[in-house]
Structure 1
Amino acid sequence: MVSIKDLEHSLSAFNQKHINFSNIDQNIIRIDTPFYDRHNDSLIIYASDCGNGNIKISDAGYVLDDLETDGIYILRSKLRMDFMLKQLNSFAIRFDKETNELYTISSTEQYAVNQYLLVQAMLFVNDMFMLSNKNVSSIFLNEVAGFLEDNNIRAIANRAIIGTSGMIHRFDFSIAGFKDIPERLIRVVNTPDNEYYAKSVAMDVHQTRKVEANAEFYTFINDENTVDNKIINLFNSENIKPVLFSKRNSVVKELAK
């Protein structure tokens, strides 16, 4: 039988192997995380002392600066800006428009949870705003929300679940279960060839399933561009139902139960 000690040991071993800390100066610590962006680069965040026993955890502006190198300027669009701020709020992450930073203020005791939320927010923003030029005014998450609403599917946005490790796992939509109908939890993938974001989704589902054993999991995938088969295979292997958005009507009946 699994024990708390087993889980604590597993989490500690993972952190020691995959998370690296180094000093930038006396007041700033660099953290190399085990998560990767679309360039196959490790996501790096920074922790700095901000007084009163609190620390600032920040991406140093990386995510938005990286999007701008691809011609995606979130700050120039009120629609995209409002959307981003709303989603960041669901992760409890703040935004500094002067420095482009995604950041949070944390106590040392809550550092692990807040680090995870920041990384998840970075992955989400990077994926959701990688839009083709002809669709820069559109946001895929909104399209999925519109589909659910148009089909009278009673979905609630931004469901957060605490996993066995104490980390918070966030789902874009949840559909309540009833009697023999299980809860349905949905994640949205905008960039259909972003293997690393897909892996983070699969990891969230894997951890959530330990506390929500009867839930069913779906991911809606923007298939405007070619979908990487490795992503489909990954989701299938984790018992996550991949739904190509062009085929979304095929799941209306089961989601509307």
Structure 2
Amino acid sequence: MKTNCSETEKLLDHYSEWLRSQYHVKKLGDADEVTTPFLNTIGDNIRIYVKSLNGNQIELSDDGITLQDLELSGINMSVSTRRELLSKLKKEFHIHQRADTLLVQGSIQNFPRLKQNFLLAIIRIDDLANTKHPNVENLFSEEVYDFLDSHDFGGLREHPFNGNSGVTYSTSYVIPARKSKPFRLIDLQSNLSFNQMMCNAYKFEDIQKNAFFSSKKLSYTIIFNDQEKHPSKNSLKIANQSDIKLIAWKDKQQLLSLR
């Protein structure tokens, strides 16, 4: 389906309105419980707790649920490799830890960025449930990178971009625009979940709104590991609504068309 810029803007606005409608807020003592549409590995909606502090500051936390659920799922977080992974993720997203509780603090004015960053952190940490097979993602990524390099795609690995919200996103592979080809963003997903699809849709929308891309054509593709998992119907729906192209790793002809 061909769309013009004004139609795409309306689609993005519609998506933003729909996403907001999926959030629910409940007062709990001195904090507000925010139920998000994102699911954790045990199928529960991820919840964030918002608490006002002195001096126009705010605290977001998970009330200890993320790490506790991982333990209940049989993930031993005392294993050194998992401790290192958790430490790296906390450092990447500037997350603090108090006992089992993950949290972040900042100004109320910075709430949009704090909330988005914190939610992404919880999803990434919750994904440690997949470390029962720790090498799958790395092997998949290296295999795809080898393919891209050997077929002279001419892109850059792990390139950062700032979204309009101010959040910095890392993209697995970026191919500059040339001739009739747009600026191409490519992400690799070994285990493409609905949560990841929702985050990817927000990420693409946020990057598109950055002034740098206002006059540039931009495309976004996710290469997923079809040997591990196929996208759900809801993931496909989000991809279609957000103009995100999904390509299975086995479909080499489709991959070559990205060059």
- TM-score between the two structures when normalised by the length of structure 1: 0.71
- Secondary structure of the residue aligned to 2:70 is helix
1:156-176 superposed Cα distances (whole Å, 9 cap, x missing partner): 32623323xx36373432414
Q: Distance in 2 between matches of 1:249 and 1:64?
A: 38
- Secondary structure of the residue aligned to 1:223 is coil
- In 2 relative to 1, CA 228–253 (structure 1 residues): closer, same or farther, beyond 3 Å? closer
CA contact (8 A) 1:184 1:215 kept: yes
- Secondary structure of the residue aligned to 1:113 is helix
- Secondary structure of the residue aligned to 2:130 is coil
- Secondary structure of the residue aligned to 1:105 is strand
Q: Kindly provide the amino acid, as one letter, of the partner of residue 155 in structure 1.
A: L
Which stretch of the first structure deviates more once superposed, 228-237 or 173-182?
A: 228-237
Q: Distance in 1 between matches of 2:48 and 2:248?
A: 32
Q: Distance in 1 between matches of 2:48 and 2:124?
A: 15
1:136-193 superposed Cα distances (whole Å, 9 cap, x missing partner): x326157415642675364332623323xx363734324141443433223343434x
Q: Distance in 2 between matches of 1:215 and 1:202?
A: 14
1:221 pairs with one of 219, 224, 230: 224
CA contact (8 A) 2:163 2:208 kept: no
Percent of aligned pairs with the same residue?
A: 16
Q: CA deviation at 1:114?
A: 0.6
Provide the aligned C-alpha RMSD in A: 3.8
1:144 pairs with one of 131, 141, 145: 141
- In 2 relative to 1, CA 74–174 (structure 1 residues): closer, same or farther, beyond 3 Å? farther
CA contact (8 A) 1:130 1:190 kept: no
Task: Give the paired residue count.
Answer: 241
Indicate the residue corresponding to 2:84 in structure 1: 82
CA contact (8 A) 2:41 2:129 kept: no
Indicate the residue corresponding to 2:68 in structure 1: 65
Q: CA deviation at 1:45?
A: 0.8
Q: Distance in 1 between matches of 2:74 and 2:182?
A: 42
Could you tell me which runs of 5 or more consecutive residues in structure 1 were left unpaired when the two chains were aligned. none
1:194-235 superposed Cα distances (whole Å, 9 cap, x missing partner): 324323323432443344452221213233434245234643
Q: Distance in 2 between matches of 1:226 and 1:125?
A: 20
Q: Kindly provide the amino acid, as one letter, of the partner of residue 22 in structure 1.
A: K
- TM-score between the two structures when normalised by the length of structure 2: 0.71
- In 2 relative to 1, CA 197–38 (structure 1 residues): closer, same or farther, beyond 3 Å? farther
Indicate the residue corresponding to 1:186 in structure 2: 186
- In 2 relative to 1, CA 126–174 (structure 1 residues): closer, same or farther, beyond 3 Å? same
CA contact (8 A) 2:156 2:174 kept: yes
Q: Distance in 1 between matches of 2:83 and 2:143?
A: 19
Q: Kindly provide the amino acid, as one letter, of the partner of residue 148 in structure 1.
A: Y
Q: CA deviation at 1:89?
A: 3.7
1:46-83 superposed Cα distances (whole Å, 9 cap, x missing partner): 123454432221112222222222222344132x4434
Q: CA deviation at 1:117?
A: 1.2
